[in-house]
Amino acid sequence: MTSTTTRRRTVRQFVPPQHGAWAMLLVPYLAGLFVAGFRWPDLPLLGAWLSGYLLSYYLFQAIKTRRITRFRTQIQLYGPVTVVLGITVLAVRPELMWFAPAYAVLLGVNAWFAWRRDERALLNDLASVVQSCLMIPVVTVIAGAEPRWEPFLIVLLYFTGTVLYVKTMIRERGSVAYRRASVGYHLAALAGAALIGPVSGVVFALLLVRAWALPGRPLSPKQVGLIEIAASTLILVAAATA
């Protein structure tokens, strides 16, 4: 029992309790693979992507708390891993540096909200969504192909709507304003997705139903998460067929 507890504490020390973040990391990456196909640099890219997220999480925690020494161990672990894997990918596809300014600006937004201790701000969430979705054109460039923006838009529309929807289910449960914003957004997203293709139109129609029907129901965070796993699977299908 003691060893199990110690193991759990160790995991919690090095892996943040942000379950939704893993979907935002993996869905765009997988969508990129479905669209462009697999190339060997996609493996170090995945490693750099995941370790980069872990590095940024603890860096922002250090900024938020103004106590960098508290997170020095995590930063010293994930920093070198991210740099080595990132350099490996850039050595193969140096043109990926074109994405650097966009990521720098978006990470700057995250750092600003961490400094203000307001990571739950809507703008901060949206900056993270855009960072995540840019992984689709990144994977496409690694494949040596021109970026396709339809899959990017599908995943971007989904995660932007999910930011609003999840707030209506958990942190803003009972907020009429957030519920109206979520349903209104999903209506607009449906119109845009239908222009991309019939599959994405059907998927976003289902997302609209969930945004309208589920807020106010007694669902636990775990149940909300399971529903989003199903929604993410549908989004991958829509992105792959766009």
Q: Is the pLDDT of residue 142 over 70?
A: yes
Q: Report the pLDDT value the prediction gives residue 2, as an integer from 0 to 100.
A: 57
pLDDT band for position 20 (cuts 50, 70, 90): confident
Rg (CA), the chain: 19
The predicted structure's pLDDT at residue 6: 60
Give 3 or 106, the one with higher predicted confidence: 106
Judged by average pLDDT, the poorest of 103-112, 135-144, 218-227 is 218-227
What does the pLDDT average to over 145-157? 92
Contact predicate 84/45, CB 8 Å: no
How many CA atoms lie within 13 Å of 182's alpha carbon, on the beta-carbon side? 27
Section 122-130 average pLDDT: 95
pTM given for the model: 0.92
Give percent above pLDDT 70 in the chain.
96
Per-residue pLDDT, averaged over 130-157, amounts to 94
Least confident range of 5-19, 59-73, 190-204? 5-19
The pLDDT confidence band at residue 3, using thresholds 50, 70 and 90, is low
Residue 145 has what pLDDT?
86
pLDDT > 90 in the chain, percent: 81
Per-residue HEC secondary structure of the chain comes to CHHHHHHHHHHHHHCCCCHHHHHHHHHHHHHHHHHHCCCCCHHHHHHHHHHHHHHHHHHHHHHHHCCHHHHHHHHHHHHHHHHHHHHHHHHHCHHHHHHHHHHHHHHHHHHHHHHCCCCCCHHHHHHHHHHHHCHHHHHHHHCCCCCCHHHHHHHHHHHHHHHHHHHHHCCCCCCHHHHHHHHHHHHHHHHHHHHHCHHHHHHHHHHHHHHHHCCCCCCCHHHHHHHHHHHHHHHHHHHHCC
Mean pLDDT value of segment 171-194? 94
Write out pLDDT tens, residues 46-86.
999 999 999 999 999 999 999 989 999 999 999 999 999 99
Is the pLDDT at 221 greater than 90? The verdict is no
pLDDT of residue 102: 97
Please say whether the beta carbons of 46 and 76 come within 8 A: no
So what's the pLDDT on residue 148? 84
Q: Which of 30-34, 134-138, 146-150, 185-189 has the lowest mean pLDDT?
A: 146-150
pLDDT value at residue 42: 97
